[in-house]
Chain A
Amino acid sequence: MNPADLVTLFDSGLRLSVPLLAACLAGLWSEKSGVVDIGLEGKMLVAAFAAAAASYASGSAWIGLMAGIGASVVFALIHGFAAISQRGNQIVSGVAINMLAAGLTAIVGNAWYGQGGRTPPLEGDQRFDELLFGHSALVYIALLAVPVTWFVLGRTRFGLRLRAVGENPAAVDTAGISVAGLRYTAVAIAGVLCGVAGTYLSVGQSAGFLPNMTAGKGFIALAALIFAKWRAWPALGACFLFGLLDAISIRLQGIALPGIGEVPVQAIQALPYLMTVILLAGVIGTAIPPRASGIPYVKER
């Protein structure tokens, strides 16, 4: 493998890691505030569909992005209503979001376009143009979200409060700050970021929406979040690593490596999941989620 190949490989690794990164940061915001989010996949999927549909209808990728974010935020608020206001089971709600998204996008896509759930192909201004170094604006938005997340969560008063809500909501409540308000804000921010991730899939990376096009990326993002131990910069590292693995698995198809033979694509695809299981089992360090995550806050308790 020569240096030029290596650059290409890193480049496609970056491309593949962008949706993971945006979704992973979404999970970070939500879980730091104490709301577990396994609905990342579903929110990405509705965003991907809404973005492709709006972009096709309006002819502008940016309007597509707005629609993608809007759809994703609506789903985020449904999750927020169940998890925060109704104190429902956050995991059950996340599963519901994923199923709803998979079903709705397929039905609506089929009803609108009659192409088996696909949107018509997007072209020209309906897609995001290359902005710099062959990457679209969305790539830079996702990358920029890393330092912003790190700074806001780690260095601002709002971020401190938001993290406190995820660790000890009662203390925050006692200080006279709204637990529900902070959690809704975090959940909405997660919606925006999932919107970016989904839009990137259908309007940036490919030219249109395909049924189930997230194909587990939301869960890989969740794995990356655990891998990064709920921190922004490590999230960038984990997502890039998983994106690179994906790029390698695509490249290695049918190529025999000296001494090892042909590596099955599936073995590399399995790595993120396997690494997460091993990490969670405490074999390579421990992954401790925010203390109050997954627990609804009840004022009178």
Chain B
Amino acid sequence: MSAPIDLPRWADTILVPAVSVVAAFLVAGLVVVGIGENPLTATRLLLQGSLATGEGLGFTLFYMTDFIFVGLAVAVAYHAGLFNIGGEGQATLAGLGVALVLNNLTFLPGFILIPLGILGAAAFGAAWAAVPGYLQAKRGSHIVITTIMFNWLASVLIVYLLVNVLRAPQNMNPETPAFPPQASIPFMHEVFAVFGIEIPPSQLNLTLLLALAASYAVWLLIYRSRLGYAIRVVGSSPSAAVYAGISPARIIIIAMVLSGALAGGLAVNELMGYQHRLLLEFTAGYGFVGIAVALMGRAHPAGIILSSLLFGILYQGGAELAFEQPAITRDMVVVIGGIIILFAGALEGLFRRLVARMMPRPALARA
């Protein structure tokens, strides 16, 4: 039973995740039934709300942008054998980086300020991830525990700063003053309007392109570069890495820095692309959804884009669903995320065995 289950590569990368996602949706359907609603109606509303209208699609892609970044963040660390559950904290600090850059350099023109804001997000996210990375690499503290603690430290810190330091004096809400107008990343409908094409307005902004570029860059890094190779070696066998002349400590810190920088993309999309100010809890638990996205996408950028799209659909469709059927709240997405993490991450063996049993013998023999 514990012998490794050999599966053809396509089954391993596509079929196993697909089966666990289908199973997750069946369980989610049971929850819908359990609270006395019709799961088929719910699914129809979900898909209509997220894909059927231009506006809905825009929102879906906006959320997808968020999930690509947090998914990539988890994936890069995962390749190095690290489980980074600190995406929330890293994105929160990235938001602080964005606010500090944008609100202190208001005199700069947009084409300089926007890249600086993105760098600020990446730098602060990276710094917040580097500390747990350093502690894991040099002091042997467990990355999971330290990133959990750093999530809470980040939330406590940001509350303090927003209430006492960064808040505009006349504003009652714990949030920074609005960012300078030239620092807003253009909305997609604005960009299209320049070319005379009219698309329905939504939160979707150019950060989506940055997310796709980041996915490509992560693919190049992980599968086509020396550093990526070193990261994967450390992830699969730290002792082999030492024999190969790779320093696991160095790679661990680098992987965490990259991971934190990627988590910063969440702050870019949410704050520079949409909110245009720093406010409390803009990360909204997406850092944890990133774990589900990365596990479902098999930590591969292409898989992450697909699973981000799925979670984007769930998130936007879930909002519409909550509007149509008040009994089903948006928390459904959190439930589905949790089930996917359980199925694709912790119960992987169960589904691999299931798929292996379904496979015809010759296919297994060829593998």
Contact = CB atoms under 8 A, between A and B. Distances in A.
Are A and B genuine complex partners? yes
Interface of A: 38, 78, 81-83, 86-93, 95-104, 106-108, 110-112, 114, 117, 216, 219, 222-223, 226, 264, 266-267, 269-270, 273-274, 276-277, 280-282, 289, 298-300
A280 B141 contact: yes
A86 B85 contact: no
B160 interface: yes
Interface residues of B, number: 52
Contact of A280 (B145, B338, B347): B145
Contacts of B361: none
Contact of A97 (B34, B157, B338): B338
17 contacts: A82-B342, A88-B345, A91-B83, A91-B144, A92-B295, A92-B342, A92-B345, A96-B345, A98-B288, A98-B338, A102-B334, A104-B331, A108-B35, A110-B331, A117-B331, A280-B145, A280-B146
B140 A276 contact: no
Interface in B308-367: 326-329, 331-339, 341-342, 345-350
A266 B160 contact: yes
A91 B157 CA distance: 26
Given A266-B157, A274-B153, A103 B145 contact: no
Contacts, number: 155
Given A86-B346, A106-B334, A273-B152, 14 more contacts: A38-B148, A92-B345, A95-B345, A96-B342, A101-B338, A103-B331, A107-B332, A111-B37, A219-B149, A222-B148, A273-B150, A276-B145, A277-B141, A289-B142
B139 interface: yes
Given A96-B342, A264-B164, A277-B135, A107 B156 contact: no
A107 B335 contact: yes
Given A87-B2, A88-B348, A110-B329, A103 B153 contact: no
B339 A96 contact: yes
A216 to B, nearest CB: 6
A53 to B, nearest CB: 13
Contacts of A266: 156-157, 159-160
B31 interface: yes
B153 A273 contact: yes
Contact of A86 (B34, B139, B149, B350): B350
B281 to A, nearest CB: 11
B245 interface: no
Nearest to B349: A86
A282 B157 CA distance: 24
A31 to B, nearest CB: 12
Kindly name the residue among B153, B329, B331 whose own CB sees the greatest number of chain A CB atoms within 10 A.
Answer: B331
Interface in B161-178: 164
Contacts of A226: 145
